[in-house]
Structure 1
Amino acid sequence: MKDVKITVQETTNNTIIKFNTNQVLINGGSYEYSNIDEAKNSPLAQQLFYLPFVKKVFITANFIAVQRFDILEWIDVQEEVKEQIEAYLNDEGVVVDEAPTSKKEAIEVYSEVTPNPSVMKFASNKSLTQTNVEYKNIDEASKSSPLAQAVFNFPFVKEVFISDNYVSVTKYDMVEWSDVFAEVRTFIREYLVSGKTIIKDLPSETKSAEEDKAEEPKVQLEGIEAQIVDILDEYIKPAVASDGGNIAFRSYDVEHKIVSVVLQGACSGCPSSTATLKNGIENLLKEMLPNQINEVVAING
């Protein structure tokens, strides 16, 4: 790895802190270790366990979460740990040994219709990513996700959205899903079973300035903005994710009390998204944040 940068992010649990990276660490899934013996396949986690205050280590594709014992506070050591992880990764250190075994992983993929008739959701029992990624064409996918690039080889595929444990595929009108969903489902399952790379680079570095504005905020938000993000995360995101989509906070206009959000995946361009936005999201925010919300407007991702 080259030029790996780490940003520190607090969590709701004050004993756990996240070290977010600007590069992909592992090929999907996640790993959790409670001690150095459990971390035999992760040289990075083993190194962290040599720190006497480390209780647990959790590794995903784009962050490392560390839980501490109560012998100290994170504020006293988080910068040192950040620098240690950065140095390790920039020295090409192995994060997790993901060498394939002779036994194939038991992976299932099932298809689900979504409220958007152009989009089909292909869900898996394998975790794919901790960061939502969306691709409008094969050129975008080629720079970041071999899985999305492979899906674009189907001539009817218009867009690909990868999140958590599913892939949402938007088709052109040239075909009906009833004729092609089985083929796509089989292809995605075989791709995952083979252990091929899902995401090789996080796409944020290649986004335009306009697209960067749509990035979900991390820890710098306060007040009403932070409350809006919390409500979206707890009440809205699980529902839209079940339909193969995602909603991301973009901005809050304090003067006019207008919330702007980004719709992705199945939610982008969905005929029912406007009704959902007004009748669901807007009403919920108005109810939970009285006198703070006048309107919610959406931008398709």
Structure 2
Amino acid sequence: MFIETETTPNPATLKFLPGQEVMASGTRDFASPEDAEISPLASALFDTGEVTGVFFGRDFISVTAAPGVEWSTLKPQVVSILLDHFVSQAPLFTGGSAAGISVPAEEDEDIVDDPGNEDVIVQIKELLETRVRPAVAGDGGDIRYRGFRDGVVYLTMQGACSGCPSSTATLKHGIEGLLKHYVPEVVEVRAA
């Protein structure tokens, strides 16, 4: 087995491609060792003591190094952990933890959508799914719709895109421009 790596726009994050499916559907973002307790793979990556974030996509894993950690020393450890996991065909998640789709933490409540904007919200979500998510996944991350209220679309960047120096530009210039072009009701995009 060979695991490819790709850089991401976030210099602290590398994208690892095992050449096989990682998640059948959805994504999963782990921001702490406690979040990772449901996944032996994510836990093993955090156990290096040099990882601050792990993200599972459809066919990739993004790993974020702690401040001051050099990828030249961390990358071989990560590749070794990934190889052990995929070669042994270990489960991605423990027992009854249904794994998949990205679930917000309790403190990350979604914004309540404006009532009567169902058609607008469907358009926004379709654009995010077909135009934005594939591009963001290419950079080792994901985007999650949080709500639409008073013309403002609330989104959360995940994986390599969370904390990326260019994430604000991506939201404000890329995604906001796209949504405003196709959905006139959108006046702004904000990180949530």
Q: Same fold (TM over 0.5)?
A: yes
Q: Normalising by structure 2, what TM-score? A: 0.87
Task: Give the aligned residue type for 2:131.
Answer: Y
Amino acid at match of 1:241: A
- SS in structure 1 of the partner of residue 180 of structure 2: helix
Q: 2:152 aligns with which of 248, 258, 263?
A: 258
Residue 248 (structure 1) aligned to one of 121, 144, 155: 144
Letter of the 1:237 counterpart: R
Secondary structure at the aligned position of 2:53 is classed as: strand
Number of residues of Structure 1 aligned to a counterpart in Structure 2: 182
Following superposition, the deviation at residue 163 of structure 1 comes to 1.3
Matching of residues 190-229 of structure 1 within 5 Å: 190-200=84-94, 201-202=97-98, 208-211=105-108, 213=110, 222-229=118-125
Q: Which of 7, 12, 22 pairs up with 1:118? A: 12
C-alpha contact (below 8 Å) 1:111/1:121 kept by paired residues: yes
Q: Work out the CA distance in 1 between the residues paired with 2:68 and 2:172.
A: 31
What residue number does 1:84 align with?
A: none
User: 1:141 is matched with which residue: 24, 36, 59?
Assistant: 36
Alignment pair present for 1:294 and 2:187: yes
- Give the secondary-structure state (helix, strand or coil) at the position aligned to 2:73: helix
Question: 1:198: Cα distance to partner?
Answer: 0.8
- Which secondary structure state, in structure 1, belongs to the residue aligned with residue 108 of structure 2? helix
Give the structure 1 partner of residue 127 of structure 2: 231
Do the aligned partners of residues 132 and 180 (structure 1) sit closer, same or farther apart at CA in structure 2, a change above 3 Å counting? same
**Runs of 4+ off more than 6 Å:** none
* Partner Cα distance (1:173, 1:187) in 2: 21
- Residue by residue, what CA displacement relative to the aligned partner does 1:30-59 show, whole Å, maximum 9, x if unpaired? xxxxxxxxxxxxxxxxxxxxxxxxxxxxxx
Partner of 1:109: 3
Equivalent-residue separation in structure 1 for 2:130 and 2:50 (angstroms): 34
The one-letter amino acid paired with 2:110 is K
The separation in 1 between residues aligned to 2:110 and 2:4, in whole angstroms, is: 33
How far apart are 1:212 and its partner, in Å?
A: 5.4
Counterpart AA for 1:132: T
1:89-108 correspondence runs (5 A): 107-108=1-2
> Larger radius of gyration, structure 1 or 2?
1
Identity value in percent: 37
Amino acid corresponding to residue 30 of structure 2 in structure 1: Y
Return closer, same or farther for 1:269/1:198 CA change in 2, 3 Å cut-off.
same
Letter in 2 for 1:297: R
- In structure 1, what is the equivalent of residue 78 of structure 2? 184
1:79-130 C-alpha deviation (Å, 9 max, x unpaired): xxxxxxxxxxxxxxxxxxxxxxxxxxxx432111110111111112111111
Q: Unmatched 5+ residue regions in structure 2? A: 112-116
Q: CA deviation at 1:240?
A: 0.6
> For 1:251, what is the secondary structure of its paired residue?
strand
Quote the residue 1:150 is aligned against.
Answer: 44
Is 1:132 the equivalent of 2:132? Answer: no
Could you tell me how far 1:183 is from its partner in structure 2? 2.7
**Structure 2 equivalent of residue 11 of structure 1:** none
- Give TM-score, length-normalised by structure 1: 0.57
* Aligned 8 A contact 2:45 2:51 in 1: yes
Contact 2:44 2:81 in 1 (8 A): no
Which structure 1 residue ranges, 5 or more long, are not aligned? 1-106, 215-220
How many Å separate the matches in 2 of 1:208 and 1:261?
A: 14
